[in-house]
Structure 1
Amino acid sequence: MSTTVELPEPVLSVRQVLGLERVLAGEPEVVAGADHLDRPVRWVHVAEAADVGVMLSGGEMVLTTGVLLAGDPHKQAEYIRSLYRAEAAAVVLGLGRAFRTPPEVMRRAAERCGLPLVVLHRPFPFAQLTEEVQCRLVRRKFAAVSLSEAVRTALTGLITAGAPLQRLLDEVAQHSGCPVVVTNLAHRVLATAGERAAVDDVLRDWERIARQAWGHHPGRSGTGGGSEGDGWIRAELGGRGEHWGRLLLCGYRGGTATGRLLADRAAEALVLHRMLGGTVHSWEEQSAQSLLTDLVAGAVPAGRLLPRARAAGLPVNRRTFVPLVVHGATPARLERLLRLLGLPGLAAELADGATAVLLSLARDQDADVLTGRFAARLRTETGVPDAVVAAADARTAWEEVPAGLREAQHVADAVAGSAPALDLPPVVRLRDVHLRGLIRLLRDDPHVQAFAERELNGLLCAADDDLLSVLRTYLATGRNKSRTAQLHHVSRPALYRRLEAIQARLGVDLDDFEQAASVHIALLAHDAQQR
């Protein structure tokens, strides 16, 4: 990966030059090429030679009095054509010395070529205009250098400190003053930064913006929601000969050249960050994690998250949403399973190590059947036979998705760690967790915590995890000694000895239903508190 970004040539548009105070004093009039005033002016060149075109390299605004063109219509037309071939930005003709009015031959030729032709009705020294424009261009050059180094220093410092992707994008957004969007090659939004309302506006219209931003001009930098002149500037992300993403500045208000520089500096830093960060899909995982975590937390209204979900590639119009939480499988593994089954959805790790999955199904698809198929294939084809798939009832309204995810999380937490002993169905729902679900809801109650400590004190003080595990399995299997011995890979006599030790330490008779139930509730509360 190259770490050198070429600084762009500082430019002003023809329109900007004509708006300068010194130029306005000359009473400029655009007599041809009025539709091309946004052309960039790289330099100002004063020349009277008829063959000036051979001296140009492109982007120049040529100033002339036309003294060598007067009286020769052929020279006048050829003069305009030579400037067009040299890719001049515009030609400014000072009236008075050679022409009293705009020469019609030059006007028609310029109009045909699309070359802006400007006449000055009041003459003034061309040196003043040259000095003014050149000074502004030099100042822009220094401003571009300063911005380039400031951005590079800031982003390099963040990468060195191990900052996450979002922190880098926040820094880019601060320098650009506009929304910043990072996508993969399929235009799926992976991350955003900038003022929240402005970002939401971009994401709300993302499908149109993505088509316009990447439907044309496949070069390194290109146009966006309108054109680069409108501040929609992109940069490709990739390294080692492979492209894997894009960065877009949405509505950058500075100069186009400076915007390109900023986008390139940001892209350079993001490529380095990704190369140092490890897996190829880490940004996709971070995008899904951010969205699903915000949905679960409920701090942001679901309606405000809808544009993010749509931009992330999740179908949201007239869909049935199935919230799942899975224990025992990584997001990457679940994403692969979703692709294998052809199920649209997102998967992301939650704070407790579980993985949230949000399926988006067509209204005519059977949500229960597809959820069951997902759970069955998870166990048989991904090598996770003990995975727990907790599901909430399907939702048809996006606003109900956060509650569904929290319900699935509640179910998954209620059975976590006890799945083998409970003989659970392939997909666990709220109706399957019974007492465990209630205890999880009450786990933070001080009375419940005190009850659990009191009932289990004999085992907790001894810190005997083996006996606690045996007790947990024994109660979860309905006090089935054969099943408990099988799950712990011990003989029946060995299990009896452990159960006797448990009863002695707790001072209870586990054959007594009420005492066993009391210990079971205490153990459920203890496990819920520990998780």
Structure 2
Amino acid sequence: MTTLLEPVLSVRQVLTLERVLAGEPEVVAGAGQLDRPVRWVHVAEAADVGVMLSGGEMVLTTGVLLAGDDELQAEYIRSLHRAEAAAVVLGLGRAFPAPPDVMRRAAERCGLPMVVLHRPFPFAELTEEVQSRLVRRKFAAVSLSEAVRTALTGLITADAPLQRLLDEIAQHSGCPVVVTNLAHRVLATAGERPAVDDVLRDWERISRQAGRGEGDGWIRAELGGRGERWGGILLCGYRGDAATGRLLADRAAEALVLHRMLGGGSAHSWEEQSAQSLLTDLIGGVVPARQLLPRARAAGLPVNRRTFVPLVVRDGDPGRLDRILRLLGMPGLVAELTGRSTAVLLSLARDQDAEALAAHFAARLRTETAPGTVVAAADGRIAWDDVPAGLREAQHVAEAVADSAAVLDLPPVVRLRDVHLRGLIRLLRDDPQVQSFAERELHGLLREADEDLLSVLRTYLATGRNKSRTAQLHHVSRPALYRRLEAIRTRLGVDLDDFEQAASVHIALLAHDAQQR
């Protein structure tokens, strides 16, 4: 049998060589087996040729020792079949002016490709042609193997991320590359984006086909070690010969396993990276949502006839959030965003109560985290195209209440209707006039040394100017708080007991906080 580095041609490819075509080849048996690999070419006339073969040979003969003996002809074919020869090529001439019927029937029964040459043909030319091609392929395969190994090892040594390794693999293979977990959910991809999208659109069928080892150019290598298998890498539609594709897939698998062992993460962390990439692209809006739908489906998110609930959690650990989703049986994706926010996209059945389930998720989260954890949500979206706006809305709500969550009386799940003025100010935070207004109103407290006074002011205004509550939250006595409030009044030149002046300062502080984030 062929080994990993053994270069091969198929019987079909050999028959298309120019020198072979000059002999007018005709396939008279085993036409369905022409994709068999040819490892070598062997010229043999002896009737017991099978004992000299090791498998994969294309045997060339004139049949001069077989003529006139039907049993010997049939045994010759059976011997080649037992030796796992790739094919037999018979040169017609004095021994056999026409294809021998006994050999043809025997070859058909064995499934052995049998080819006859109608014109005289120097077997040495065919042998030389095939052997030289095989040798060139062998050196090319070894060279490719070392080039891939060197490139991937260099990237691992440089602590490159998983995506960089996959990009390198895709460049060498010239086809889409997909990494999956054991459930065939897509963890990462590489390659030309349109080709990758085509694969993901038909991922359900492709993953089944690849799992059965079927399909021209679909080459899968397992990921794992020490008796544990945790995923696979798939070359999708590789156009080179199968041996080289297998080589590439195995080299890629070796590199990914090494990358993981040296701290490049686990299969679970790769799932997190996949979700992060998808949700970040959804929120960013650079890629249309419709184009991201195949990625979501391939990542295991149910997308047909679903209600999508966008959530953003402040100070939530992505691993804990994902575990809670699994515990509650809620399908969804979890991804850490910039800052201290984590996005959660729930996918619920249409007949489920989206608002109640979001509240259930938030309640379970609060039993495992600090009481001040903020869970912000947008209303459920039925259309996938509306999901990006929903995620941005949830992110907006979470950031609008982030600085004052501990002092605000917030519901378990905060929505746009709950943020009132804070939401509006955050939307206007980049307006130059709003920025100028904030700096003008707070000018007396914007030095670094005044941060403590600014914090007291923030709490005082967020609690509705409740002095007792403010003192309690800052762990100071009432007299100490009064001194700080007096210092604030002096620095700002305002009367905080006056509703309009206090409201103006409050708006300026909200704008300042939004700008700082």
- Aligned counterpart in structure 2 of residue 66 of structure 1, from 63, 67, 75: 63
Structure 1 residue 100 displacement after superposition? 1.0
2:207 aligned partner = 210
State the one-letter code of the partner of 2:182: L
Matched, 1:11 2:8: yes
Moved more, 347-356 or 336-345: 347-356
State the one-letter code of the partner of 1:327: R
Equivalent pairs: percent with the same residue? 86
Q: 2:515, 2:449 → 1: CA distance?
A: 16
Q: 2:327, 2:235 → 1: CA distance?
A: 34
State the one-letter code of the partner of 1:339: R
User: SS at the partner of 1:417?
Assistant: helix
Q: 1:7, 1:468 → 2: CA distance?
A: 69
**Deviation per CA, 1:313-351, whole angstroms, max 9, x where unpaired?**
000000000001110112111100100110000000112
- Aligned counterpart in structure 2 of residue 398 of structure 1, from 378, 381, 384: 384
State the one-letter code of the partner of 2:204: E
1:415 aligned partner = 401
1:336 aligned partner = 323
- Aligned counterpart in structure 1 of residue 292 of structure 2, from 284, 305, 309: 305
User: SS at the partner of 1:421?
Assistant: coil
1:520 aligned partner = 506
Q: How does 1:401-480 map to 2 (within 5 A)?
A: 401-461=387-447, 463-480=449-466
1:31 aligned partner = 28
Q: 2:324, 2:164 → 1: CA distance?
A: 31
- Aligned counterpart in structure 1 of residue 237 of structure 2, from 245, 251, 257: 251
**Deviation per CA, 1:72-114, whole angstroms, max 9, x where unpaired?**
1111111111111111000001110311111111111100110
Structure 1 residue 55 displacement after superposition? 1.0
Change (3 A) 1:297 1:32: same
User: SS at the partner of 2:352?
Assistant: coil
1:160 aligned partner = 157
User: SS at the partner of 2:88?
Assistant: strand
Q: Calculate the aligned-residue CA RMSD, in Å.
A: 1.1
User: SS at the partner of 2:223?
Assistant: strand
State the one-letter code of the partner of 2:169: V
> Is contact 1:7–1:144 with CA below 8 Å preserved after alignment?
no
Q: 1:298, 1:12 → 2: CA distance?
A: 48
- Aligned counterpart in structure 1 of residue 220 of structure 2, from 234, 258, 275: 234
User: SS at the partner of 1:355?
Assistant: strand
Structure 1 residue 263 displacement after superposition? 0.8
> Is contact 2:4–2:246 with CA below 8 Å preserved after alignment?
no
Structure 1 residue 395 displacement after superposition? 0.4
Structure 1 residue 147 displacement after superposition? 1.0
Change (3 A) 1:470 1:359: same
**Deviation per CA, 1:332-376, whole angstroms, max 9, x where unpaired?**
111001001100000001123310110000000000000000000
2:256 aligned partner = 270
State the one-letter code of the partner of 1:123: P
Change (3 A) 1:305 1:134: same
Structure 1 residue 424 displacement after superposition? 0.7
**Deviation per CA, 1:179-204, whole angstroms, max 9, x where unpaired?**
11110110000111111111111100
> Is contact 2:5–2:142 with CA below 8 Å preserved after alignment?
no
Q: 2:155, 2:269 → 1: CA distance?
A: 18
Moved more, 157-166 or 167-176: 157-166
> Is contact 2:316–2:340 with CA below 8 Å preserved after alignment?
no
Change (3 A) 1:299 1:438: same
User: SS at the partner of 1:422?
Assistant: coil
User: TM-score, normalising length from structure 2?
Assistant: 0.98
Q: 1:390, 1:293 → 2: CA distance?
A: 17
Structure 1 residue 164 displacement after superposition? 1.4
State the one-letter code of the partner of 1:362: A
Matched, 1:93 2:90: yes
State the one-letter code of the partner of 1:514: E
Structure 1 residue 278 displacement after superposition? 4.9
**Structure 1 residue runs of 4 or more that deviate by more than 4 Å after TM superposition:** none
Q: 1:276, 1:444 → 2: CA distance?
A: 43
Moved more, 114-123 or 348-357: 348-357
**Deviation per CA, 1:37-61, whole angstroms, max 9, x where unpaired?**
0000000011111111011111000
Change (3 A) 1:462 1:190: closer
Matched, 1:125 2:122: yes
Q: 1:462, 1:45 → 2: CA distance?
A: 86
Q: 2:197, 2:90 → 1: CA distance?
A: 48
Matched, 1:365 2:352: yes
1:47 aligned partner = 44
Matched, 1:107 2:104: yes
Q: 1:232, 1:146 → 2: CA distance?
A: 23
User: SS at the partner of 2:330?
Assistant: coil
Q: 1:279, 1:174 → 2: CA distance?
A: 23
Matched, 1:325 2:309: no
1:219 aligned partner = none
2:484 aligned partner = 498
State the one-letter code of the partner of 2:401: V
State the one-letter code of the partner of 1:176: S
> Is contact 1:7–1:145 with CA below 8 Å preserved after alignment?
no
**Deviation per CA, 1:488-520, whole angstroms, max 9, x where unpaired?**
222222222221222122121111111111111
Q: 1:10, 1:420 → 2: CA distance?
A: 68
Structure 1 residue 162 displacement after superposition? 2.0
Q: 2:260, 2:425 → 1: CA distance?
A: 43
Q: 1:514, 1:279 → 2: CA distance?
A: 54
> Is contact 1:329–1:384 with CA below 8 Å preserved after alignment?
no
2:278 aligned partner = 291
> Is contact 2:162–2:264 with CA below 8 Å preserved after alignment?
no
Structure 1 residue 481 displacement after superposition? 1.2
1:146 aligned partner = 143
Moved more, 483-492 or 512-521: 483-492
Q: 1:365, 1:159 → 2: CA distance?
A: 46
Unaligned runs of 5+ in 2: none
1:21 aligned partner = 18
Q: 1:238, 1:46 → 2: CA distance?
A: 44
Q: How does 1:343-362 map to 2 (within 5 A)?
A: 343-362=330-349
Q: 1:385, 1:422 → 2: CA distance?
A: 12
Structure 1 residue 462 displacement after superposition? 5.2
Q: 2:263, 2:14 → 1: CA distance?
A: 46
Structure 1 residue 28 displacement after superposition? 0.6
State the one-letter code of the partner of 2:316: A
User: TM-score, normalising length from structure 1?
Assistant: 0.95
State the one-letter code of the partner of 1:526: H
1:220 aligned partner = none
> Is contact 2:425–2:510 with CA below 8 Å preserved after alignment?
yes
Q: 1:389, 1:32 → 2: CA distance?
A: 70
State the one-letter code of the partner of 1:409: Q
